C-alpha cells in the first residue's frame, strides 16, 4: 500500500490551484448543498495527495443520493448481502473504488485512521478521500481503493483451494489483530467480514477494511487487548454459525473449537512478540539473534533491545514493532521489475537462485545475480506469464500463478520420478488447476463500468456494514492541513 506524504504548504497550494483550473472548466455542481456558513452549490473533495489518478471520480453525480446513482462506471458485485450503509463500487481509469455513504463525523474519523494505519505499515485498504457538503441532510462519502486480487471469507469457504480455509483465515486474522494491537490500535469490530484476504504464495494475508470503531492509543492495556479479542471471538463465532446454516462450513469444523484456537494462537503470537527472557551469559548472543530471527519471520522487527543484569542472569526485553513490509518484494523489483507480495517474492527469488545455479553449471563459469535475474525473466517468467490463457487472466496475480506452477511442477515431477520442467507444468496447470480458481472480486486489470464482478461477496463482507456508532469529536476538515483540500471547486468537469 502506498503511503501518503503531506505536501509542503506552497506545493500543496500550487497543486490545489492547478487541479481547480483543470477540473473546473465545464459543468456545474448544481444541487450540491452547503452547510452552515458555507456557500450553496459547492461539493468539497478532500483527497490524499497525490490524487491525480482519482480525478475521474469528480465527474460522478455527487449531488445525488448514492443509492440513486445511475452511471455507466458503477460496478455490481454479485450475491450481495444486506448492508446498514449504502455502498457502491465504481470502476474508473482501470481502478476499482468502494464508495460508502456515512455521516461526515464518522467519515472524517475513518479517513484519518486509515491514513495512520498506512503510515504504520499495518495492512489495510487504501483510503482515497472523502466527499462532503453534498447537500442538506446528505451524508458524506468515504472513498477507498479496492484491494486487487482480494477475496472474502465467504468466497474462500464457497470455493476452497489448498486445503481447509478455516486455519489459514484464522492465522491471517490473528496476525492482523496482533499488528493492530502492537501499533496501539483497538479494532473494536474484528471479524472475518471486516477483512479482505489475498493469497501470498499459498498463505493468506488479511487486510482491514473498516476502521469506524477503531481507536488509536499510545499503547493498549491488557484489558483493552483482551476485550478486543473477546469481541473478535463473538463475531467470528456468529459468522461461522452463519456459514454452517448455509451448508458452507465443512462438518469437521467446530465453531467452538475455532474460537478456542483463535484465542490460543493470539496468545502465543503476542507472547512471542512481547515476552521477556532470562539469558545465561554464554548463550546471550545466540539467543538474542534467534529471537530477532523469529520476529523477522513473523513479519515484525525489533524497535529496541534492552538487556538488564539480574541475579538470575541477563533479562532480555525486546520492544517489537510492525516491520516495514517488502524486503523481498523490493529486492525482486530491483532485480526484475516484478511487483509481488513478500512470500511470492521470496519464492520467485529462490527460483532465480536455482536458475542461476543451473546457468553456472551449464556454462562452467560464475554468473552474477543481475545477469541470472534478467535471463530468468526472459527465458522463464515472461514466457509463462505470456502463455496464460486470455479467458483465465485475472484469476490470480501473475506472481501467484507462477508460484502455483512451481508447486504443480514439484507434484508432477514426484509422480513422474523426474523433473518435468516449467513449460510442461505450466500447460498442465492451465488445463487442470487454474480453471477451478474462482474469479476475484477485483483483478486490478482495468474493470469496465457496468460489469458484474464475480465472487461470493456482499457489502457486509467488505467491511461496510457497521452502525453509526458515536465517534470522537474531530477537528473540522479545514484544520486537516496535511490534506489536499479542493474547497473552491465550483464547476465539475464533464457534467454528470
Whole-number Cα distances in Å, 205 to 5, 120, 245, 484: 25, 16, 26, 31
Read off the pLDDT of residues 151-190 as tens digits, 9 standing for 90 and up. Answer: 888 878 877 665 567 888 888 899 899 989 988 999 998 9
> Minimal CA–CA distance to 144: which of 461, 441, 462?
462
CA angle 461, 464, 468 (to 5 degrees): 135
Q: Rounded to whole angstroms, how far apart are CA atoms 492 and 114?
A: 27
Pairing mode of beta strands 452-453, 140-145: unpaired
DSSP 212-260: TT-EE-SS--HHHHHHHHHHHHHHHHHHHHHHHHTT-S-TT--HHHHHH
Which of 319, 342, 84, 90 has the alpha carbon at shortest distance from 213? 84
Report the alpha-carbon distance of residue 456 to residue 370 in Å, rounded.
Answer: 42
**Strands of the 313-322 sheet, one edge to the other:** 277-279, 313-322, 300-310
User: What would the grid cell of residue 475 be?
Assistant: 477537528
Strands 74-77 and 452-453, bridge-based pairing = parallel
Ramachandran angles phi, psi of 97, nearest 5°: -120, 145
Q: What is the pLDDT of residue 232?
A: 94
**Which pLDDT score, from 0 to 100, does residue 385 have?**
94
Regions of the chain where pLDDT drops below 70: 1-41, 49-51, 77-84, 160-164, 202, 279-287, 296-297, 299-308, 312-327, 440-496
The secondary element (H helix, E strand) that includes residue 119 is helix 104-119
- Find residue 278's DSSP bridge partners: 315
Q: Which residues pair with 277 in a beta bridge?
A: 316
Question: Please, are residues 193 and 237 in contact by the beta-carbon 8 Å criterion?
Answer: no
Q: How far apart are CA 265 and CA 214, in angstroms?
A: 22
Measured on CA atoms in the order 334, 336, 337, 342, is the torsion positive or negative? negative
N-terminal to C-terminal alpha carbon distance within the chain: 31
Query: What pLDDT, on a 0 to 100 scale, did the predictor assign at position 427?
Result: 93
Q: How far is CA 277 from CA 297, 301, 471, in A?
A: 19, 17, 40
Per-residue model confidence as pLDDT tens digits over 362-409: 888 888 888 889 999 999 999 999 999 998 988 888 999 999 998 898
- 279-287: long-range contacts, CB 8 A cutoff, minimum separation 24: 279/313, 279/314, 279/315, 279/316, 280/313, 280/314, 281/313, 281/314, 284/314, 287/316
* 241 contact partners, CB below 8 Å, separation of at least 6: 255
Q: C-alpha cell of 84?
A: 446498514
Q: DSSP letters of 405-438?
A: HHHHHHHHHHHHTS---HHHHHHHHHHHTGGGSP
Chain position carrying cell 441532510: 137
CATH entry 1.50.10.10 includes domain 151-273: no
Classify residue 41 as left (phi > 0), alpha (psi -120 to 50) or beta.
left
Q: What is the pLDDT of residue 50?
A: 64
Alpha-carbon span 141 to 274, nearest angstrom: 39
The predicted structure's pLDDT at residue 330:
80
CATH 1.10.510.10 range(s) for the chain read 151-273
Q: Which of 344, 376, 404 is nearest to 161 (CA)?
A: 404
- pLDDT given for residue 291 in this prediction: 72
Set of cell numbers at residue 128: 482515497
Which residues lie closer than 8 Å to 370 by C-beta, 6 or more apart?
335
Q: Is the pTM of this model over 0.75?
A: no
Amino acid at each position: 500500500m502506498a503511503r501518503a506524504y503531506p505536501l509542503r504548504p506552497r506545493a500543496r497550494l500550487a497543486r490545489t490551484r492547478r487541479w481547480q483550473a483543470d477540473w473546473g472548466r465545464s459543468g456545474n455542481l448544481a444541487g450540491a448543498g452547503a452547510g452552515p456558513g458555507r456557500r450553496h452549490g459547492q461539493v468539497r473533495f478532500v483527497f490524499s495527495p497525490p490524487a491525480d489518478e482519482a480525478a475521474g471520480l469528480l465527474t460522478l453525480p455527487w449531488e445525488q443520493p448514492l443509492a440513486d446513482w445511475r452511471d455507466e462506471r458503477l460496478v455490481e458485485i454479485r450475491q450481495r448481502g444486506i448492508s446498514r450503509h449504502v455502498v457502491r463500487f465504481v470502476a474508473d481509469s482501470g481502478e476499482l473504488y468502494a464508495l460508502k455513504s456515512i455521516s461526515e463525523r464518522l467519515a472524517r474519523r475513518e479517513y484519518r485512521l486509515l491514513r495512520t494505519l498506512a503510515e504504520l505499515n499495518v495492512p489495510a485498504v487504501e483510503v482515497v478521500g472523502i466527499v462532503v457538503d453534498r447537500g442538506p441532510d446528505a451524508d458524506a462519502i468515504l472513498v477507498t481503493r479496492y484491494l486487487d486480487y482480494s477475496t472474502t471469507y465467504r468466497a474462500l469457504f464457497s470455493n476452497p483451494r489448498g486445503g481447509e480455509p478455516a486455519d489459514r483465515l484464522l492465522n491471517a486474522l490473528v496476525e492482523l489483530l496482533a499488528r493492530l494491537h502492537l501499533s496501539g490500535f483497538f479494532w473494536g469490530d474484528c471479524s472475518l467480514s471486516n477483512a479482505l484476504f489475498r493469497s501470498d504464495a499459498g498463505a493468506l494475508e488479511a487486510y482491514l477494511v473498516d476502521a469506524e470503531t477503531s481507536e488509536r492509543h499510545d499503547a493498549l492495556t491488557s484489558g483493552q487487548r483482551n476485550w478486543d479479542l473477546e469481541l473478535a471471538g463473538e463475531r467470528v463465532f456468529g459468522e461461522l454459525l452463519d456459514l454452517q446454516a448455509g451448508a458452507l462450513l465443512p462438518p469437521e469444523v467446530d465453531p467452538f473449537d475455532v474460537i478456542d484456537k483463535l484465542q490460543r494462537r493470539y496468545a502465543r503470537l503476542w507472547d512471542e512478540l512481547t515476552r521477556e527472557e532470562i539469558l545465561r551469559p554464554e548463550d546471550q548472543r545466540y539467543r538474542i539473534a534467534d529471537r530477532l530471527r523469529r520476529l523477522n519471520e513473523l513479519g515484525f522487527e525489533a524497535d529496541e533491545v534492552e538487556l538488564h543484569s539480574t541475579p538470575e542472569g541477563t533479562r532480555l526485553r525486546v520492544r517489537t514493532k510492525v516491520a516495514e513490509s517488502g524486503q523481498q518484494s523490493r529486492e525482486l523489483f530491483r532485480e526484475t521489475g516484478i511487483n509481488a507480495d513478500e512470500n511470492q517474492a521470496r519464492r520467485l527469488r529462490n527460483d532465480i537462485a536455482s536458475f542461476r545455479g543451473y546457468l553456472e553449471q551449464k556454462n562452467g563459469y560464475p554468473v552474477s545475480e543481475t545477469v541470472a535475474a534478467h535471463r530468468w525473466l526472459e527465458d522463464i517468467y515472461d514466457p509463462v506469464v505470456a502463455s496464460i490463457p486470455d479467458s483465465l487472466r485475472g484469476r490470480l496475480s501473475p506472481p501467484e500463478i507462477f508460484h502455483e506452477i512451481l508447486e504443480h511442477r514439484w507434484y508432477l515431477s514426484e509422480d513422474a520420478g523426474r523433473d518435468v520442467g516449467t513449460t510442461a507444468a505450466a500447460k498442465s496447470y492451465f488445463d487442470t488447476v487454474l480453471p477451478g480458481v474462482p474469479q476475484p472480486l477485483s483483478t486490478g486489470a482495468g474493470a469496465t463500468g457496468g460489469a458484474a464482478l464475480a465472487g461470493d461477496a456482499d457489502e457486509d463482507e467488505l467491511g461496510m456494514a457497521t452502525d453509526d456508532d458515536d465517534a470522537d469529536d474531530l477537528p473540522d476538515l479545514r484544520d486537516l492541513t496535511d490534506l489536499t483540500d479542493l474547497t473552491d471547486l465550483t464547476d465539475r468537469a464533464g457534467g454528470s
